[in-house]
Amino acid sequence: MDVLPAVEMEAPNGVAVDASIIWLHGLGADGNDFAPLVPQLDLPSGFGIRFVFPHAPSIPVTINNGFVMPAWYDIKEMDIDRHVDETQLLQSAAWVHALIDREIERGVDSRRIVVAGFSQGGAVSYQAALSYPKPLAGIMALSTYFATAASVQVDPVQKEIPIMICHGSMDPVVPEQLGQSSVAALKEMGFAPEYHSYPMEHSLCPPQVVDISAWLSRTLG
């Protein structure tokens, strides 16, 4: 399978890469969206982390009048249940699997790979990470929802995967109810997600960046 183009940020000079974070952007953005956040995470200088920020393909998006934009899948209706094109979402998850495979080929142990995503990217991250057949380091789901909770085939090797979920209490795009529903669905599956809520809209905020840094340090430290 072809590997998606991506923005990559390598570990500092002299530090060997021994971990990877594959971070998916939201609807209408691209891989450059979260790259500027890396220095703000202020992770320990000795961490050998490669950040991979892939670009979604551009497709027509129904809720935006069919306008062509970067998207991991089509959203057909903007209701609380999020009518999405699951076939496209599964294709995007397969592309993430290919990126994970490439990191493993480049020498990173699968147990040192985090899959992260914001909004649409988070929905793909749930599907991709939980269905991957080798143990992963964790899932970081930001301002998102578990679109395939009713259909995902969870691989048993992921049964203890750490999961961090962050959501804004004033999010007008993906209501916090969807983040809380994700927590409930994951708990029913036997997972123990860590949930953080912030007084923000559909974005990131400084206290959240601190929490992300702490979680990554624990997960990959």
Which active-site residues does the annotation give? Answer: 119, 171, 202
Tokens of 117: 């995503």
**161: nearest Cα among 192, 187, 189, 121:** 192
Give the HSE-up count for residue 151: Cα atoms under 13 Å, Cβ half-sphere: 10
Answer for the pair 41, 216: CB distance below 8 angstroms, yes or no.
yes
b/e code 162-184 from CB counts within 10 Å (16+ = b): bbbbbbbeebeebbeebbebbbe
